[in-house]
Chain A
Amino acid sequence: MALADWEVLLGGDLLLDTTYKVSGAKSLSQAFNGGATHIVHSATYNDAPKNVEIRTWMTVLDPDDYYYDYFIGCIARKQKDVNTYFYWLLRLRINYQGLVTEAEGTAGYYSDGTQNQVDVTDILNDFKAKLGDYWNSGKWRFVRLIGYESEGKFNVIIEMTPDIDTPDVNNPPLDQLQSLYSVVMDIPTELQNGGACGLIVGGVKPSTSYAKSAKPFYDYTQIYY
């Protein structure tokens, strides 16, 4: 696969980086302060799944100063040629020491480009209780993002493991996943059908931060549906 297979809906500045990887020579990253980038895999339009599970490995390069916001999230039921889709993501604010100072889950949908935010939840205490206070540079974590329909509602889940010292893509640590965020949403008429699916990646420098460098990394992403 290649970037040509991915459609960028929002954001950009994606790049390859050799600093950290769990497989091969490179991982997906983003230029500093690139923002949240929404991407879907073009081939998934053909199958148009209603439900999706995406697994990926993620690590960070902590900011050189102050703090930086990192994103990991999922997209489902993206309709062709229109920005209509479900989204759900985590925003993690990490400081120059690797301390996680904010953790927030967000879920909703876009309807012809208009954002409808259904839920925002502060999950910092639960995040730290399950995964510890710090996320230091180069420490890989395994992430599972699930979106599925059940009994007429759309359910979304985000799970993450603690630091995995020796990541093995052939033996993903499913048993170490911790559920961090889940929301049940009504399904609007325009999202009754299946569609393309993908990821939300990237990071942003908060206006109150003086960080000059920071990066997220994602590698060995798998799409199930």
Chain B
Amino acid sequence: MYPLLYLFIKRKRAIVKGKAVTMFDLYAKVVKNGIGVYNVLVKVSYNTKELSKYTDHNGLAVFEDIPGNITKLNILLDLTEAWVKELRFTEDWEELFKAQLRITEDWEELYTATLRITEDWEEVFSATLRITEDWEE
């Protein structure tokens, strides 16, 4: 689903140099799947004027004090830097322990496997007897 652009206009009267003029504020809201799209660059142009503003976290950009006597208003959206946010994962943590079993160890096998050396001690002691000292002598 593509982002949707909603435009709202708030009309207002202002006194400029003692003269009442009609102006309006333009609210541009960019929404995708019900969530405001952040960081969309909204470009507004009329007559020779060009304005641009990024949308906030609610997908909103506000342009104030646009004159009421213009004949044409151009609006362009630049989505290059837009953050199109969607819900990707929800964790309710219910299955945490089921998943915690990573390794099953059969200890019987382990002990068999760790038997590396078999020593015949009779032979070792015979072999290490090198010097016999009779201190009496």
Spell out A's residues near B (CB within 8 Å).
1-5, 14-16, 23-28, 41, 43-44, 47, 51, 53, 146, 148-150, 218-225
How far, in whole Å, are A149 and B99 apart by their CA atoms in the complex? 34
How far, in whole Å, are A41 and B102 apart by their CA atoms in the complex? 17
How far, in whole Å, are A16 and B91 apart by their CA atoms in the complex? 13
- Rank and list the top 3 A-B pairs by shortest CB-CB distance, nearest first: A2-B99, A4-B99, A2-B95
> Which A-chain residue is minimally distant from B102 (CB atoms)?
A4
Contact flags (1/0) for B91-116 with A, using CB distance below 8 Å? 11111111110100000000000000
How far, in whole Å, are A47 and B39 apart by their CA atoms in the complex? 20
A-B contact count (CB 8 A): 81
Interface of B is mostly: mixed
How far, in whole Å, are A24 and B95 apart by their CA atoms in the complex? 11
Tell whether, in the assembled complex, residue A28 and residue B93 are in contact, meaning their CB atoms are under 8 Å apart. yes
- For residue A120, give the distance in angstroms from its CB to the closest CB of chain B: 25
Tell whether, in the assembled complex, residue B87 and residue A16 are in contact, meaning their CB atoms are under 8 Å apart. no
How far, in whole Å, are A4 and B87 apart by their CA atoms in the complex? 20
Residues of A within 8 A of B35 (CB): 224
Given A3-B99, A4-B99, A16-B93 in contact, is the A223-B88 Cβ separation under 8 Å?
yes
Given A4-B99, A224-B88 in contact, is the A24-B81 Cβ separation under 8 Å?
no
Tell whether, in the assembled complex, residue B87 and residue A222 are in contact, meaning their CB atoms are under 8 Å apart. yes
Interface residues on chain B, number (Cβ under 8 Å): 24
Contact flags (1/0) for B50-75 with A, using CB distance below 8 Å? 00001001000000000000000000
Tell whether, in the assembled complex, residue B97 and residue A16 are in contact, meaning their CB atoms are under 8 Å apart. yes
Tell whether, in the assembled complex, residue A27 and residue B86 are in contact, meaning their CB atoms are under 8 Å apart. no
Residues of A within 8 A of B39 (CB): 148, 150
Q: Which of B81, B87, B91 has the most CB of A within 10 A?
A: B91
Tell whether, in the assembled complex, residue A224 and residue B87 are in contact, meaning their CB atoms are under 8 Å apart. yes
Tell whether, in the assembled complex, residue B94 and residue A150 are in contact, meaning their CB atoms are under 8 Å apart. no
Tell whether, in the assembled complex, residue A41 and residue B89 are in contact, meaning their CB atoms are under 8 Å apart. yes
Tell whether, in the assembled complex, residue A27 and residue B89 are in contact, meaning their CB atoms are under 8 Å apart. no
Tell whether, in the assembled complex, residue A225 and residue B88 are in contact, meaning their CB atoms are under 8 Å apart. yes
B85, CB-defined interface residue at 8 Å: yes
B90, CB-defined interface residue at 8 Å: yes
How far, in whole Å, are A225 and B102 apart by their CA atoms in the complex? 29
Other CB < 8 Å A-B pairs besides A2-B98, A221-B91, 14 of them?
A1-B89, A4-B100, A16-B97, A23-B92, A26-B96, A28-B96, A41-B91, A148-B38, A150-B39, A150-B54, A220-B90, A224-B86, A224-B87, A224-B88
Tell whether, in the assembled complex, residue A24 and residue B99 are in contact, meaning their CB atoms are under 8 Å apart. no
